[in-house]
Amino acid sequence: MSASYTFTRNLTVGSKGDDVKALQQFLNANGYQLSVAGAAGSSGMETTTFGPATKAALAKFQATMGISPAVGYFGPITRTKVASMGGTPNSPIVVPATQYLKVEAAGPVANTIPDGSLYNKVLILKFSAGSQNEQVTGVTVTRGGYVGNTKITGVSVWDDIGNRYGNIISALTADGKATISFPSTPFSVPAGQSKYLTVSFNLDADTGSGSVSASVAAVSDISASVAVTGTFPVVGQTFTIVDGANSLADLRIDDQSVAGLVYSTISSADGNLEVGNINKEVFKLRLTQNNSKEAVNVSRVVLYVEGTVQEAKDITNWKLYSPEGNVLATAEKPVDRFVTFVLSTPYVLDKGLSKDLSVKADVADGSGNYFRVSVQNDYDIVATGATTGASVQPVDSAGTTLTAADTQNTNGGFKVKAGALTVSKMAGSPSGNVAPSSQNVVLAKFDLKAAGEKLEIRKMGLQIEYAAAGLDLTGTVSVKDTSTGETYLSVSADTSNLQATSVTAPYTANQMSLSSYITVESGQTKSIEVTGTIDSSATSTSNYKVSLGGFYVKRYSTNDYTDVATGEYEANQLSVSDVTLSVTKDTSFGNAYRSAGSTNVKIAQFVLQASDADDIRINSVSFSVASSSYIQNMKLKDGTTELGSTIGTPSATGNSYTTNFVITKSASKVLAVYADVLSNATTDDDFVVSVTDSGVSGYGVASSKSLSDTPSSDTAGQTVSVKTASLTIAADAAKPLSKIVLAGQIGVELSKIKLESSNEDLTLKKFTLSIGTASTTQWAAATDVARNISKVYVYDGTKLLNTGGTSVVSGDVVLSGLELTLAQNTPKVLTIKADISGQDTVFPKAVGRVTLKSTSTTDMEVYSSQGRMETGITVSDTNAPSNYMLFTVAAPVITNTYSGSTTKSGQSGDEVARFTISNPGTRDLSLSSTTITISLTPNGATSTVDTWRIYESGDLSNALDTDATSLASASATSTTITFDSFTTAQTVTAGGSKTYVIKANTASIKTITSTYTGDVKLSVKLDGSTGYLSTDVASSPSGEELLWNDGVVLYSYSTTGAYAATYSNLLGSDSGEVLGPTLTY
């Protein structure tokens, strides 16, 4: 029984894998042979590499199956076709009962190979395993044919996915043999399966002519896990050698500077890399195709890494980049000192070009180690000629034999720095003032960054400088981890040499052993802080500055102990200042109006500003209220958080709130007072809330110093006056401009209405919109205009207030059941959108708008704290109207699509403009005429332009219309030209467009004399107007839209359905003035 292979990805030239082999099996099985029998890729010899033969066979299959394009790319369309044909049949693996390992020749077919080429496949060995998995660990190859041993410059073996086994043998023995051993990376053959090894020869460039073959002479020439069976010698085909000089590419190899160290002295040099460096450029390979014979495809680059770096861990994540910055290949690390890049898609180097490939890597470890990258052998660059298909032998930049020295750049060395410590003051290190009695206050913050390797800090130098006229620190001085709070050092403030009126050096003399060592990974940063206690008697004469230096560390990679960062690293100087708090009226909240009966409204706002000496915890705040009988339920809030308890009946004084919040030093806190205004408060009654003298109590968090006399006198807040609630409604300034609205459009924005409440928050529960007409004698609002709108939608920002929309009934749109809060003194803008009726329902050419119907309680419901408002609602500009809209079925949209040169010479039939007319409507537009405006600016001599023609862009041989108007002038002039006699009917289909080209005879546009030498300029535009026009009360021409500005394209359309009609002589368009090019002659 057989199964079908399932393909899951796209395949193309360069792809590798089992799915490639399955595709080749499918093509061979269905008659699309990749190659002749016995050759790689033929039936039973399929490989896992997608090459030109696979591409060609796949293209034939695609052409036969009608798959387009038939270019040999295996994508989704082809995968679907292959799947429908059952995929690739796969027979189940039958494992033999006995153990064996059989070898036989499996190609390739004899062919011609050029001298000077590399990796020529001369023998394919097919290994088949019996009941056990087997391994091949070496092969001895014997040369045959008429060619000298010295002409074979390389023998190598490869599997069918491009992996090389063993080294490349560069010289044959006297009897023409080469033994390739690979015991550490054996070639595996699974039980019951066959695998292929390919023997390749490199040929010397001066071989000339001859023949060559390869064989395995005896069973002893194969080293394996079991005795090999087969018919020996196993002989491949004989290949004819020809001179490759006239056909092979000339590939030259060189390196480019990467700003490294002088390699000859690198062992004693300072490092130029740090552990943790990412994507560091360490080599640059220059490839040059030096003749015009063929392009080359580079598929493999092997680089040698010399030096002391440990290849398993020091330099990792190698990447090969193209000049464009694309990653061509990657390698995890060097193996046996070699980094191998296998390019999944070969890099193409065209004839005669030079390209630089950049090599980058990460520095993972290796403090003190160094290295240099180079190309060790000419066969380490695998590059195949695009025409010959032969792998060319690279040479050096001078065209001679490539050796390791050719790419060993004198300044190409890289060395990983030995461990060092960088000490820097943190950006957030304290500055300014500290308060007396501050305990364990942070005096300084530092960043400690390890470079080169992991460090363990065991000692550090620490000194604190204080003012001679002041007091030193008391208690304990500590060094802590800023993030975790772990204590690394804790000493008494009176420790010898810890505090001084001036710092001393060297810092190594003041080193203190840490109670807990600080470990910093290479490239990482550890943040520490120094804390201490300020004397309670300290005054402004005291100040303090922390300094670090002289760190004693263990270096993990270097494996030694040493002093690092021995200089002085200072923090900011801190001065002593008392703990104070200022209380002021918040000017961002001005004097306010509040309505009687309003609830939970803001009546005062204050700013509490802490000094920079200490954070301050506030325990209580007290207020007095002038005219307190007007309010009740007074609250204190920090944002939306209520502080303390609500005071139900405030008194003139003694209104105190118990609090527990902290104001960070130098920061401020805004506190607001809220209350209900009693319903019996009368208009123009005033009241004021004040923070009372010494009404704020609190203390410094670090210093425990209490606030004194804060504030020093009553601090009055805002004056609040009692007023009546009101609402102002107006059309918003950002409402849509007058425009054309087309049948069938969805969600068209028609208007924006702004509502603003005063003196208290209001609630809008209902309002009514009305559909208005621009002319009651032309269109009845409730029938003719209203029928153009099927649904109306009202939005508060992005929130839809009437889900599903609301229909128009007798010209009105009633929106009820709303609960929209209109916050006091905060404008609310409602957006009105509509779905427009279809072409069989609209009233074409009707002009109308949307307004608020009225503020009567029948049409609008607004509630204040006193109930439904019957007065106090004001609507500006006759019920907040939208701009007028023209409702129609189709209208042209005109755009300038000229893309030619704007600097030219005059000629007959000169293209001077190109415009596209689009039809976004639902019915075809029939065009009758169009008018263009031409402007000419001569150079002083008479300029002449005539013979104006209009064409469809797809047929520039047959003019649709010609106008003989001659524009001749020596000074700036303009005129209009109308094309109105089209030779063929011009229709722009619904949803389509047409492009028109304007040509003219400009042969005489410019006259050059000794007097007149300047440029001549010519421009063309379509000079239409847009929008509502109140004075347009008569149709001209007959049928033209009323009360609307005219465009310059005359058109018509027909509708169907219950209101079927033809509408002619229409001129409306939203395109307005469409500027064409300004041409310079």
Per-residue model confidence as pLDDT tens digits over 130-172:
999 999 999 999 999 999 999 999 999 998 777 889 999 999 9
Give CA–CA dist 842/823, Å, rounded.
Answer: 39
d(CA 152, CA 205): 10
**Which residues is 769 bridged to in the sheet?**
813, 852
Position of tokens 């004001």? 874
User: Fold for domain 726-888?
Assistant: Immunoglobulin-like (2.60.40)
72/62 Cα distance (integer angstroms): 7
**Which phi and psi angles does 467 have, rounded to 5°?**
-70, 140
User: What pLDDT is stored for residue 627 in this prediction?
Assistant: 87
Q: Which two tokens stand for residue 474?
A: 């008391």
Domains 420-576 and 726-888 share a fold: yes
Q: Measure the CA–CA gap between 805 and 791, rounded to whole angstroms.
A: 6
> Class assignment of domain 110-242?
mainly beta
Phi, psi of 52 (to 5 degrees): -60, -35
Using alpha carbons, select from 592, 606, 589, 620 the residue that is nearest to residue 677: 592
Distances (CA, A) of 340 to 130, 162, 195, 392, 561: 33, 12, 23, 18, 38
Q: Which two tokens stand for residue 355?
A: 């390209």
Q: What is the DSSP track for 890-929?
A: ---EEEE---S-SB----TTEEEEEEEEE--SSSPEEEEE
Contact 578, 706 (CB under 8 A): no
Write the CA distances from 526 to 421, 442, 516, 873, 1081, integer angstroms.
11, 17, 14, 65, 70
Cα(210)–Cα(766) distance, integer angstroms: 101
Q: In the structure encoding, which two tokens stand for residue 739, read together?
A: 């425009």
CATH architecture of 251-415: Sandwich (2.60)
Full 3-state SS string of 672-716:
EEEEEECCCCCCCCEEEEEEEEEEEEEEECCCCCECCCCCCCCEE
Please tell me the distance from the alpha carbon of residue 1026 to that of residue 1048, in angstroms, as a whole number. Answer: 11
Q: Quote the CA–CA distance of 646 and 674 in Å, as a whole number.
A: 10
Query: What is the residue-wise DSSP string for 801-817?
Result: SSTT-B--BTTEEEE-S
- Selection from 360, 371, 372, 366 nearest residue 274 by Cα: 366
Q: Extract the residue ranges of the chain whose pLDDT is less than 70.
A: 1-4, 36-38, 63-64, 66, 86-93, 505-509
> CA–CA separation, 870 vs 880, rounded Å?
19
Q: Is the peptide bond before 711 cis (omega within 30 degrees of 0)?
A: yes
* 444: nearest Cα among 567, 549, 547: 547
> Which two tokens mark 1075?
């500027």
CB 605 within 8 A of CB 670: yes
Closest CA to 835 of 698, 743, 940, 944: 743
Residue with tokens 């203390």: 699
Residue 63: what are its φ and ψ, rounded to 5°? -60, -40
> By three-state DSSP, how is residue 964 classified?
coil
DSSP 982: -
Helix, strand, coil percent values for the chain (each to nearest 5): 5, 50, 45
The whole-angstrom separation of Cα 920 and Cα 746 is: 13
Cα separation values, 388 from 49, 113, 246, Å: 19, 9, 11
Asked whether the beta carbons of 283 and 303 are under 8 A apart, the reply is: yes
The answer to whether 894 touches 1069, Cβ cutoff 8 Å, is: yes
- Can you tell me the distance from the alpha carbon of 702 to that of 614, in angstroms, rounded to the nearest whole number? 6
Q: What is the pTM of this model?
A: 0.51
**Tokens encoding 639:** 């944002």
Class for domain 3-90, per CATH?
mainly alpha
Which DSSP symbol is given to 785? I
Structure tokens at 193: 């399966």
Sheet holding 474-481, edge to edge: 420-425, 441-451, 525-533, 474-481, 487-492
The three-state secondary structure class of 781 is helix
Tell me: the pLDDT tens digits for 1012-1069?
Answer: 878 999 999 999 999 999 999 998 889 899 999 999 999 999 999 888 999 999 999 9
Contact 606, 584 (CB under 8 A): yes
The answer to whether 805 and 837 have CB atoms below 8 angstroms apart is: no
Residues whose CB falls within 8 Å of the CB of residue 1023, separated by 6 or more in sequence, listed in order: 931, 933, 976, 1048, 1073
**Position 1062: which residue type?**
T
Q: Per the omega criterion (within 30 degrees of 0), is the bond before 92 cis?
A: no
Alpha-carbon distance 54 to 582, whole Å? 84
Domain residue extents for the chain = 3-90, 110-242, 251-415, 420-576, 581-723, 726-888, 893-1080
d(CA 415, CA 270): 7
Strand partners, 789: 836
864 vs 567: CA distance, rounded Å: 72
The CA R_g of the chain, rounded to the nearest whole Å, is 45
d(CA 505, CA 465) in angstroms, rounded, equals: 13
CA distance 610 to 835: 57
Residue 554 corresponds to which amino acid?
Answer: K
**Cis ω on the peptide bond leading into residue 1037 (within 30° of 0)?**
yes
Determine the 3-state secondary structure of 936 from DSSP.
strand
Question: 1067 with 1049: CB under 8 angstroms?
Answer: yes
| Domain 581-723, CATH | 2.60.40.10
Nearest to 126 by CA among 51, 33, 198: 198
Alpha-carbon span 530 to 443, nearest angstrom? 6
How far is Cα 35 from Cα 21, in angstroms, rounded to an integer? 14
**Whole-Å CA distances, 1016 to 328, 909, 1050, 1079:** 54, 17, 32, 8
Query: What is the distance between the alpha carbons of residues 505 and 727, in angstroms, rounded to a whole number?
Result: 75
* CATH number belonging to domain 420-576: 2.60.40.10
Cα–Cα distance measured from residue 372 to residue 409, given in angstroms and rounded to the nearest whole number:
8
- Report the relative pairing of strands 164-169 and 194-203 from DSSP bridges: unpaired
Tally of CB atoms within 10 A around 608? 24
Alpha-carbon distance of 119 to 135, in angstroms, equals: 24
What would the two tokens of residue 456 be? 């363990």
Report helix, strand or coil for 310. Answer: coil
CA-CA distances (angstroms) from residue 108 to 34, 41, 57, 99, 120? 13, 10, 18, 28, 10
Which string of b and e fits 841-869 if b means at least 16 CB within 10 Å?
A: bbbbbbbbbbbbbebeeebbbbbbbeeeb
Tokens, residue 236: 């491949």
